[in-house]
C-alpha cells in the first residue's frame, strides 16, 4: 500500500509533469529540427539526444525524490515515471492520428509524430516500442541512481562533456585546425558530428580528469594552503602572467569567429561593469542604460564619419568626446530621476532609453543623426599605420578598455565612494542619515556608468563601421541587467562570467536561432531559482563564508 502511494507520489506525478514537458518539447519543433544535426555521426542526432536526455532527467528526478530511498522503490518509481511520460507521448500520437494537430501546432508534423517520437518505427508497433522504451529508460535510470555517487558524478560529467563537444563541433573544428595536427581533428570529427571513437575518447578523457581531480584535488588545495605566503604570491604572479599571455594570444589561436565572440563579450563586459556600478553598487535599477551606449556610438560616428558632419577626425579623438558626452548625458538624465525609487526609477530610465532611440531614429532629426539609414563609414582605429580592422585586432582594443574599466571599478569598489554607493543600495534613508550626500553620489554613479557605456559605444561603432538606431533597443538594456545579476550582482568577475554565459554562449549558438532565446529564458529562471546569488558572487559573501569555516575549525 505504502509502496503504491510512493509510486503515485514520486513516479507517476513526476511522469505527468515529464510527459507535459516532453510533449511541449516535441510540439515546439525542437526534436525535429535537432534531428537534422548529428552529435555522433550516424549514431546519435541532437534531437534524439535531447529526447533521451529529457527522459533520463525525468526518471532521475523521480528516483531522487523517492523517500525512503529503498533500492526497489527507487527503481519502480523511476520506471513508472518513464512509463507515464511515454504514455503521454502515446496519447499525443494517437490524438495526432485522428485530429489534424497542425491546424494549431504547426510543428506537429507527421514525421515527428509517427517516426521521430517512436524511434523510426511506424504504426502501433511504434507505440508499443515507445512504452517499452519509457520503461527501459526508467529501469536504466533507476539502476544508474543506485550506483555510488562518485561513479554517477564521473559519468554525468563525461556524458555532459561529450554532448557539449558534439553541440559545439562547429567551433571546435577551426580551433583544432588552427592549433593541432590534422590527425586529431580527423580522429574526433567528421564533416557532420563527432566520430564514435572521438566521442568515446572525449568521454574517457573527461572521466579521467574528474577522477584524478577528486582523488588529488583535495590534496592540491591543502598543499596550496600549506605553502608560505611568499611562495603563494610568486605562484599567483606566474598565474597572472600566464593568464595575460593566454588573453593576448587567444584571438590568433582561436580563429576569426571566436575572436568576434570575444569582442562582443568584451563590449558587454564594458557595459556590464558600467551598469554594475549603477545597479550593483548604488542599487539604482536603470533599464535605459543602452542610451549611453548609443550616445557613445553616435558621437563617434558623427565625429569620424564623412557622412553628415563630415569632420573625418580620427577614432582616438572621438574617445574623449564620446565619454564626455556620455557622462554629461548620464548626469543630466540622472538629475530628474534623483527622487525616484525602485521601479519608478526603472521605468523612467527605460523611458530615457527609448526616447534616445526614437530621437536618433526620427525623421525630425534625420539631417543631424541619420535617421533610420544610420551613419556609415565610421573610422577604424589606427596606430602608426596599423589598422584595427577585423575582430582579431579590435579585440586588443577591447581588452585594453576592459582592463581600464575593471581597474577603475576595482579601485572604486572598496573606496569611500564605493562604500557610499553600497550603503545607498542597502538603505537609502539610513545612508543619508550617515552623512552621505545622495545627490552627488547618485550622479557620480550615473556618470561613471554612463562613461563606461559610452566607451563601449565608441568601440562598438568603430567595430561595426555603420550604426543604426535598431541596434540600441531596450533588449540591450535588459540583457545587461540580466547578465550582471546572472554573474553575481556587484561582483567584477561576476560581470565577466555573466557576459560570457549570457552573451557569449548565445553568440556561439547562433545557428539555433529561436531556441537559444527559449534556452536563455529557461536558464535565467532556473539560475535564479537554484542559485540566486549568481555564478560568481561578490567577495564579501565569500570572505565571510571562509571566515565562518575557519571559526568553526578553531572553535
Partner 1 sequence: MDGLDIEIKEKTIHSVIGPNGAGKTTFFNCITGFYKPEAGEILLENHSLVGLMPDRIVRLGIARTYQNIRLFPDLTAIENVLVGMHAHLKSSYLGIILNTPFVKKEEQEAEAEANRLLKFVNLETKANMLSKHLPYGDQRRLEIARALATRPKLLCLDEPTAGMNSGETQAMCDFIQSLRDDLGITIMLIEHQMRVVMGISEIITVLDYGKKLAEGTPDEIKRNPKVIEAYLGQGSAAQAH
Partner 2 sequence: MKRSLFLFVGLFMFLAASIVFAAPPTDPLGVVTIKPGEPIHIAYWFVTAGSDSTLGIDTKRGVEIAIDDIKNNLLGHKIKFDGQDSGCNAEGGQAAATKLASDPTIVAAVGSNCSSEAKPGAPILWNAGIATVSPSNTAPYLTDPKRGPTYDGYLRTAHNDKVQGAVAADFAFKSLKVKKAATIHDGSVYAEQLANVFAETFKKNGGTIVAQEAVAPTDTDMKPVLTKIVTAKPEFIYYPIFVAAAGHITRQVKEVSGFEKVALMSADGAFSVDFYKAAGESAVGMYHSSPDFEAFGKVYEDFIQKHIKKYGEKTLAPFHAHAYDAANLIFKAIEKVAKQEKDGTLYIGRKALRDALYATKNMKGITGSINCNQYGDCADPRIAVYKTSPENVKTLVMPKKSFWKPY
Partner 3 sequence: MPTKFQRWKERITATDIVMWFIGFALLVFIILGSILTLRAGRYTPVQWFDFVIYGLAQGSIYALVAMGYTLVYGVLRMINFAHSEVFMSGPFTAYYVAAYFYRSSLLESHPVICLIIVFIVSMTISTLIAFLLERIAYRPLRNAPRLIPLITAIGASFTLMYLFRGLYGTGFQAYPVWEIFSGKWALFKGLEIGKIQVFVIFAAALVMVALYLFIQRTRIGKAVRSVSEDKEAASLMGVDIDKTISVTFIIGGAAAGAAGVLYALVFKQVFFMMGFIPGIKAFTAAVLGGIGNIPGAMLGGLLLGLLESIGPALFLDGFNIAAPYQLKDAIAFLVLVLVLIFRPTGLLGERLAVKKA
- Residues in 391-410 at the binding interface with partner 2, rule: CB under 8 A: 391
Which residue is it, cell 577604424? 380
Task: List for the chain the helix, strand, coil content (%; round to 5).
Answer: 80, 0, 20
Interface with partner 1, residue 408, by CB under 8 A: yes
Is the Cβ of residue 264 or residue 484 nearer to partner 3 in the bound state? Answer: 484
Least distance between partner 2 and beta carbon 427 (Å): 39
Interface with partner 3, residue 344, by CB under 8 A: yes
Q: What are the residues facing 382 on neighbouring strands?
A: 387
Interface with partner 2, residue 192, by CB under 8 A: yes
Least distance between partner 1 and beta carbon 419 (Å): 5
The correct pick among 303, 431, 443, 455 for binding partner 1 (CB under 8 A) is 431
Per the structure block, which three cell numbers stand in for 485? 545579476
Interface with partner 3, residue 150, by CB under 8 A: no
Question: Interface with partner 3 by CB under 8 A: which range of 52-60, 201-209, 301-309, 478-486?
Answer: 478-486
The correct pick among 104, 416, 525, 529 for binding partner 1 (CB under 8 A) is 416
Cα separation of 336 and 349, whole Å?
A: 10
Number of Cβ within a 10 Å radius of residue 357: 21
Q: Residue 282 contacts by C-beta under 8 Å, 6 or more apart in sequence?
A: 421, 422, 424, 425, 441, 442, 445
Is the Cβ of residue 380 or residue 542 nearer to partner 3 in the bound state? Answer: 542
Interface with partner 1, residue 384, by CB under 8 A: no
Residue 476: in which H helix or E strand, if any?
helix 474-487
Which residue is it, cell 523612467? 348
Number of Cβ within a 10 Å radius of residue 362: 13
- What, of partner 3, partner 2, partner 1, none, does residue 436 touch, CB below 5 to 8 Å by kind? partner 1
**Number of residues engaging partner 2 in binding (CB under 8 A):** 43
Per the structure block, which three cell numbers stand in for 231? 611562495
Least distance between partner 1 and beta carbon 226 (Å): 23
Cα separation of 510 and 170, whole Å?
A: 11
The correct pick among 150, 368, 410, 517 for binding partner 2 (CB under 8 A) is 517
Interface with partner 1, residue 492, by CB under 8 A: no
Number of Cβ within a 10 Å radius of residue 112: 23
Per the structure block, which three cell numbers stand in for 115? 517516426
- What, of partner 3, partner 1, partner 2, none, does residue 470 touch, CB below 5 to 8 Å by kind? partner 2
SS3 248: helix
Interface with partner 2, residue 351, by CB under 8 A: no
Least distance between partner 1 and beta carbon 543 (Å): 6
The correct pick among 511, 525, 550, 552 for binding partner 2 (CB under 8 A) is 511
DSSP structure string for 114-159: IIITTTT--HHHHHHHHHHHHHHHHHHHHHHHHS-HHHHHHHHHHH
The correct pick among 32, 428, 507, 538 for binding partner 2 (CB under 8 A) is 507
- Residues in 161-190 at the binding interface with partner 2, rule: CB under 8 A: 170, 173-174
- Residues in 354-413 at the binding interface with partner 3, rule: CB under 8 A: 354-355, 358-359, 361-364, 366
Cβ(289)–Cβ(274) below 8 Å: yes
Interface with partner 1, residue 41, by CB under 8 A: no
SS3 514: helix
- What, of partner 2, partner 1, partner 3, none, does residue 467 touch, CB below 5 to 8 Å by kind? partner 2
Interface with partner 2, residue 257, by CB under 8 A: yes
Number of Cβ within a 10 Å radius of residue 53: 14
- Residues in 97-126 at the binding interface with partner 2, rule: CB under 8 A: 102, 106-109
The Cα angle at residue 542 between residues 537 and 543, in degrees rounded to 5? 135
Rounded to the nearest 10 degrees, the angle between the axes of helix 315-334 and helix 438-464 is 140
- What, of partner 2, partner 3, partner 1, none, does residue 339 touch, CB below 5 to 8 Å by kind? partner 3
Question: Interface with partner 3 by CB under 8 A: which range of 78-86, 305-313, 346-354, 543-551?
Answer: 346-354
- Select from 182, 202, 183 the least CA-distant residue to 194: 202
- What, of partner 3, partner 1, partner 2, none, does residue 255 touch, CB below 5 to 8 Å by kind? partner 2
Residue 382: in which H helix or E strand, if any?
strand 382-383
- Residues in 442-481 at the binding interface with partner 1, rule: CB under 8 A: 444
**Number of residues engaging partner 1 in binding (CB under 8 A):** 30
The correct pick among 264, 265, 271, 350 for binding partner 2 (CB under 8 A) is 264
CA separation, residue 429 to residues 276, 435, 443 (Å): 21, 10, 17
Cα separation of 255 and 232, whole Å?
A: 34
- Select from 192, 206, 207, 201 the least CA-distant residue to 40: 192
Site string for partner 2, 432-471 (x = CB under 8 A): ----------------------------x--xxxxxxxxx
Residue 429: in which H helix or E strand, if any?
helix 428-433
Interface with partner 1, residue 540, by CB under 8 A: yes
SS3 260: helix
Cα separation of 16 and 121, whole Å?
A: 24
Question: Interface with partner 3 by CB under 8 A: which range of 23-31, 50-58, 387-395, 544-552?
Answer: 23-31
Interface with partner 2, residue 261, by CB under 8 A: yes
Cβ(110)–Cβ(38) below 8 Å: no
Cα separation of 13 and 7, whole Å?
A: 8
Which residues here bind partner 2, judged by CB under 8 A?
102, 106-109, 170, 173-174, 191-192, 255-257, 260-261, 264, 361-363, 371-374, 376, 390-391, 460, 463-471, 507, 510-511, 513-514, 516-517
Residue ranges that bind partner 1, judged by CB under 8 A: 407-408, 411-412, 415-417, 419-420, 422-423, 425-427, 429-438, 444, 540-541, 543-544, 547
Amino acid at each position: 500500500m505504502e509502496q503504491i502511494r510512493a509510486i503515485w507520489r514520486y513516479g507517476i506525478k513526476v511522469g505527468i509533469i515529464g510527459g507535459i514537458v516532453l510533449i511541449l518539447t516535441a510540439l515546439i519543433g525542437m526534436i525535429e529540427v535537432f534531428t537534422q544535426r548529428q552529435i555522433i555521426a550516424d549514431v546519435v542526432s541532437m534531437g534524439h539526444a535531447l529526447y533521451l536526455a529529457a527522459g533520463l532527467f525525468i526518471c532521475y528526478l523521480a528516483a531522487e525524490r523517492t523517500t525512503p530511498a529503498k533500492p526497489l522503490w527507487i527503481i519502480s518509481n523511476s520506471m513508472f515515471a518513464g512509463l507515464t511520460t511515454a504514455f503521454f507521448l502515446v496519447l499525443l500520437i494517437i490524438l495526432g492520428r485522428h485530429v489534424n494537430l497542425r491546424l494549431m501546432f504547426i510543428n506537429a508534423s507527421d514525421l515527428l509524430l509517427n517516426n521521430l517520437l517512436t524511434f523510426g518505427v511506424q504504426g502501433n508497433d511504434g507505440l508499443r516500442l515507445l512504452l517499452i522504451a519509457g520503461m527501459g529508460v526508467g529501469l536504466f535510470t533507476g539502476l544508474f541512481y543506485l550506483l555510488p555517487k562518485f561513479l554517477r558524478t564521473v559519468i554525468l560529467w563525461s556524458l555532459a562533456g561529450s554532448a557539449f563537444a558534439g553541440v559545439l563541433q562547429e567551433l571546435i573544428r577551426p580551433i583544432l585546425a588552427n592549433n593541432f595536427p590534422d590527425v586529431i581533428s580527423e580522429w574526433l570529427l567528421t564533416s557532420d558530428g563527432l566520430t564514435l571513437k572521438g566521442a568515446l575518447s572525449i568521454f574517457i578523457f573527461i572521466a579521467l580528469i574528474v577522477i584524478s581531480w577528486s582523488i588529488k584535488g583535495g590534496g592540491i588545495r591543502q598543499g596550496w594552503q600549506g605553502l608560505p605566503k611568499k611562495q603563494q604570491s610568486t605562484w599567483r604572479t606566474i598565474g597572472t602572467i600566464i593568464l595575460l599571455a593566454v588573453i593576448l594570444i587567444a584571438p590568433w589561436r582561436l580563429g576569426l569567429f571566436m575572436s568576434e565572440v570575444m569582442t562582443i563579450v568584451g563590449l558587454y563586459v564594458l557595459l556590464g561593469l558600467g551598469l554594475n556600478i549603477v545597479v550593483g553598487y548604488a542599487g539604482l535599477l536603470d533599464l535605459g542604460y543602452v542610451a549611453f551606449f548609443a550616445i557613445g556610438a553616435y558621437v563617434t560616428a558623427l565625429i569620424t564619419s564623412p557622412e553628415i558632419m563630415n569632420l573625418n577626425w580620427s577614432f582616438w579623438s572621438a574617445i574623449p568626446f564620446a565619454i564626455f558626452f556620455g557622462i554629461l548625458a548620464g548626469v543630466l538624465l540622472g538629475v530628474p530621476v534623483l527622487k525616484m525609487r525602485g521601479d519608478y526609477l526603472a521605468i523612467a530610465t527605460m523611458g530615457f532609453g527609448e526616447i534616445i532611440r526614437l530621437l536618433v531614429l526620427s525623421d525630425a532629426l534625420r539631417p543631424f543623426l541619420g535617421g533610420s539609414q544610420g551613419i556609415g563609414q565610421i573610422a577604424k582605429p589606427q596606430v602608426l599605420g596599423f589598422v584595427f580592422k577585423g575582430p582579431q585586432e579590435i579585440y586588443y582594443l577591447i581588452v585594453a578598455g576592459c582592463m581600464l574599466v575593471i581597474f577603475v571599478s576595482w579601485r572604486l569598489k572598496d573606496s569611500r565612494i564605493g562604500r557610499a554607493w553600497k550603503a545607498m543600495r542597502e538603505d537609502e534613508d539610513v545612508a543619508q542619515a550617515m552623512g552621505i550626500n545622495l545627490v552627488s553620489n547618485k550622479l557620480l554613479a550615473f556618470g561613471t556608468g554612463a562613461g563606461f557605456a559610452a566607451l563601449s559605444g565608441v568601440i562598438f561603432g568603430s567595430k561595426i563601421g555603420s550604426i543604426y538606431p535598431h541596434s540600441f533597443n531596450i533588449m540591450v538594456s535588459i540583457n545587461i541587467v540580466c547578465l550582471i545579476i546572472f554573474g553575481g550582482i556587484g561582483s567584477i568577475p561576476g560581470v565577466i562570467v555573466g557576459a560570457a554565459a549570457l552573451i557569449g554562449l548565445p553568440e556561439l549558438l547562433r545557428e539555433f536561432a529561436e531556441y537559444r532565446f527559449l534556452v536563455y529564458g529557461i536558464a535565467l529562471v532556473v539560475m535564479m531559482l537554484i542559485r540566486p546569488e549568481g555564478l560568481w558572487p561578490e567577495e564579501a559573501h565569500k570572505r565571510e563564508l571562509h571566515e565562518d569555516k575557519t571559526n568553526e575549525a578553531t572553535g
